[in-house]
Amino acid sequence: MKNLRFLLAGTVAALAVAGSAAHAERGSDGELKILFWQAVSTLNPYLSGGTKEVYSSSMVIEPLARYDEKGQLVPMLVTEIPTVENGGVAKDLLSMTWKLKPDVKWSDGTPFTAEDVIFTWKYCVAPDGGCAQKAQYEGVTNVEAPDAHTVKISFSEPKPYPYSAFVGAQSPVVQKKQFENCVGAKAPGCTSANFGPIGTGPFVVKDFKPNDVITFEANKNYRDPAKPAFATVTLKGGGDAASAARAVLETGEFDYAWNMQVEPEVLATMLKAGKGKLETAFGTQVERINLNWYNPDPKLGDKRSTQQAGPHPALKDTAVRRALSLAIDRGVIDEAGYGEAGKPTCNIVPAPEAYASTKNDGWCLKQDIDAANKLLDDAGWKKGGDGVRAKDGVRLSFLYQTSTNSVRQATQELVKDMWSQIGVESELRNVSASVFFGGDPASPDTFQKFYADVEMYTNNFDGTDPEKYLAEWLCDKVPSPENGWQGQNIPRYCNAQFDKLVGELSKTSDISKREELAKQLNDMLTEEGAHIPLIHRGSVSSHSLTLQGVRMNAWDSELWNVADWSRKK
C-alpha cells in the first residue's frame, strides 16, 4: 500500500484550482477571440478524438477532475480527489467514490447530479455508439449513485491508478436529459446536442457553424459568480498555422491561437511586432507516422483498412517496417520544422521522464541508410528498373497522408527523399485538418478511416500516467464500421502479449513496476512498427499581451482554466 500511496500522492494536487486575481464581475471584459486553424467539426469529444474538438468543448462540458499545468489532479465538479487515505479509493482498489459539489448546475439551470455521471458512462460504452474515448472507461464494470451527489465506480480488477473515467478533457460529463435519446447508433444523428451541449463550464454555445465558427456566451449559472471575465467568446476555425500565428503576433486581430506548428524562423519574425507572445509546454505530444497493418487497397471497397481486407501486403513484413524507420533522419526534421519546440524521439510515451524509455534509441535515433537497405536486401525486396523495390509482385510504393500544414508538408518531402534512398516510393497527400481530424464516419478522409498506407499526425494523453493511453492499442480498439470508425487503435496493431501487459499494468501498484511495464509496452509499439515516432513536440500557442491568466497546460485542455482568463486593464 505504501507504493500505492506514493503513486496517488504524486498526482493529486490541492483541493481547489488556483485562479488568477479575482475578476470585478462576470462578463466585464467583453469579447475573447480565439483562433483554431484546424476548424472544429463537433462539440462532442465522444464522437471525435481530435484535439480541436476536445479543447473547444472543454469550455462547455467538464470532467469531475482534470490536470493542471503541472500534471497534478485538481477537482472541478467534486469536493476532493479520492485517495486510499481519505477513504475515496477502497483499500482493495476495486472501487472509488467521488463526492460531487452540491451547488453545481447545468447551464440550463437544472441540478448536476450523479445520474448524469452514470449516464455518461453508459453513453460511451453503449454498443454501436462509436465512442472515441472508450479507452477511458477500460475496466469499469459499474457506475452507481448511493445518493444524488455521490458516485461510486467499480472495477473488474484492483485498479492502482483509478483516475481515468470522468477525468481530464477527454472524458467529460454530459447531461442525461439532453443526451438520453442519443445512445448507441443514434449518437451521431443528435446534431443539436452534439453541436450545442449543455454544460457546467464557464461558457455556453450560442451558435455553431461546423468547420467554421463558434460563438459562446458566459454561462449565467456558472458556479463562480465572478467568472468568466469575458461576456462572449468567438472561436474561429480554418486557415493555416502561419496565418493564425500572424493574427495574434503581428496584427493583433485575435487574442489566442492554438497549435503554432510553424517554422521557428517564421515565428521569430512575427514576435518582433510586439503584440503577442508564445507559450510552450512539453507534455506527451508525439508527431508520428502510423503504419497501416491492414490492406487499404481501394479495390477492396468497404473492406479496405478493415480486418476483412487482410494484412497489408508490404507492411506485414517486419523488415519493411524497420527499414522505414531506420531511413529517417529525425534531427533534420526537428531542425527544419520544430527547433526548440521539438526533440527527436523513438517513443510514443516520451514523458514524464520516469516513463520515457531509451531502449530503442540505439538503432532508431540515428539515421542508417545502409542498415535499412541491407534489411530489405536480405528480406528479398529487389530494386526494379525504376529504383523501387518489389517482391512477389508487391511494390514498396506507399500513399503517405497527413493534414494540411506547411511543417507537415515539408516533413513529408523530407521523408519521401529519405525513403527513396532505400528504394521506397511515396505518393504524398494532404487533407484539410478540419476533415482529417473531424471524425465524420461518412468521410473517406479521416485519420481513423486510414485509407492510406502510412499517415502522420500528433497525439497525446491527459495527465502523467500512460495506462489509459497505452490501452488505445488493444486489439478491441481498432477502428471499424462496427464502432463508427471511432476506435483509437489507428495502426490496426493487434498483439495478444501487448493486451496481456496492459492488463498487468492496470492492476500493478508498485510505481517502479508500473514504469517498467509502461516502457515495455512503449518499446513493443516501436520495435514492432505499429508506428514510427518522429518528434516529441512541445505544445506551442500564442496569445495577446493584453490577455492574462493563461496557464499553458500540456497535460489537459489548453483552455482548461479559461474561466480565469481576463483582459489587462
Pull the grid cell for residue 6. Answer: 506514493
Instruction: Report the C-alpha gap between 145 and 567 in whole angstroms.
Output: 41
Amino acid making up residue 328? I
Average pLDDT value for the chain = 93
Q: In this structure, are strands 232-237 and 213-218 parallel, antiparallel, or unpaired?
A: antiparallel
Q: Which residue reads 508506428 in cell numbers? A: 531
Q: Where are the alpha helices (DSSP H) in 448-569?
A: 467-470, 496-506, 511-527
Instruction: Please give the pLDDT value at position 44.
Output: 96
Instruction: Please give the pLDDT value at position 487.
Output: 86
Instruction: Please give the pLDDT value at position 481.
Output: 93
Instruction: Report the C-alpha gap between 159 and 506 in whole angstroms.
Output: 6
Pull the grid cell for residue 438. Answer: 473531424
Q: Where are the alpha helices (DSSP H) in 91-165?
A: 114-125
Q: Is the pLDDT of residue 320 over 60?
A: yes
Instruction: Please give the pLDDT value at position 23.
Output: 54
CA angle in degrees (0–180, nearest 5) for 471-515-292:
35
Instruction: Please give the pLDDT value at position 128.
Output: 87
CA angle in degrees (0–180, nearest 5) for 313-398-534:
110
Q: Is the pLDDT of residue 356 over 60?
A: yes
Amino acid making up residue 311? P
pLDDT confidence bin for 440, thresholds 50/70/90:
confident
User: Which positions ≥6 away from 362 have C-beta within 8 Å?
Assistant: none
User: Which of 287, 286, 294, 285 minimizes the C-alpha distance to 491?
Assistant: 294
User: Which positions ≥6 away from 78 have C-beta within 8 Å?
Assistant: 64, 65, 98, 99, 100, 101
User: Which of 546, 537, 545 minimizes the C-alpha distance to 280?
Assistant: 537
Task: Kindly list the strands in the beta sheet with 95-99, ordered across the sheet, starting from the edge strand earlier in the chain.
Answer: 95-99, 150-155, 140-147
Instruction: Please give the pLDDT value at position 245.
Output: 97
How many CB atoms sit inside 10 A of residue 444's CB? Answer: 12
Instruction: Report the C-alpha gap between 567 and 31 in whole angstroms.
Output: 10
Query: Mean pLDDT, to the nearest integer, of 156-169?
Result: 94
Percent of the chain scoring above 90 in pLDDT: 88
Pull the grid cell for residue 65. Answer: 477532475
pLDDT confidence bin for 460, thresholds 50/70/90:
confident
CA angle in degrees (0–180, nearest 5) for 553-515-539:
20
How many CB atoms sit inside 10 A of residue 87's CB? Answer: 10
Question: Count H helices, E strands: the chain?
Answer: 16, 21
Question: Out of 38-52, 228-242, 528-542, which region has the weakest mean confidence (pLDDT)?
Answer: 38-52
DSSP three-state, residue 29: coil
CA dist 387 to 234, 321, 393, 395, 420, Å? 52, 19, 15, 11, 8
User: Which of 411, 285, 360, 372 minimizes the C-alpha distance to 525?
Assistant: 360
Instruction: Please give the pLDDT value at position 389.
Output: 98
Pull the grid cell for residue 196. Answer: 450545442
Query: Mean pLDDT, to the nearest integer, of 152-157?
Result: 96
Instruction: Report the C-alpha gap between 287 and 460 in whole angstroms.
Output: 9
Q: Is the pLDDT of residue 11 over 60?
A: no
Amino acid making up residue 62? E
Does the bond joining 228 to the residue before it have cis omega, within 30 degrees of 0?
A: yes
Are 60 and 199 spatial neighbours (Cβ–Cβ below 8 Å)?
A: yes
CA dist 137 to 203, 467, 471, Å? 26, 12, 10
For residue range 395-407, what is the model confidence (pLDDT) as tens digits?
999 999 999 999 9
CB-facing half-sphere around the CA of 465: CA atoms within 13 A: 29
DSSP three-state, residue 326: helix
* Strand ranges for 158-295 from DSSP E: 203-209, 213-218, 232-237, 256-258, 276-291
DSSP three-state, residue 289: strand
For residue range 37-56, what is the model confidence (pLDDT) as tens digits?
999 999 999 998 789 999 99
DSSP three-state, residue 410: helix
For residue range 283-315, what is the model confidence (pLDDT) as tens digits?
999 999 999 999 999 999 999 999 999 999 999
Instruction: Please give the pLDDT value at position 84.
Output: 95
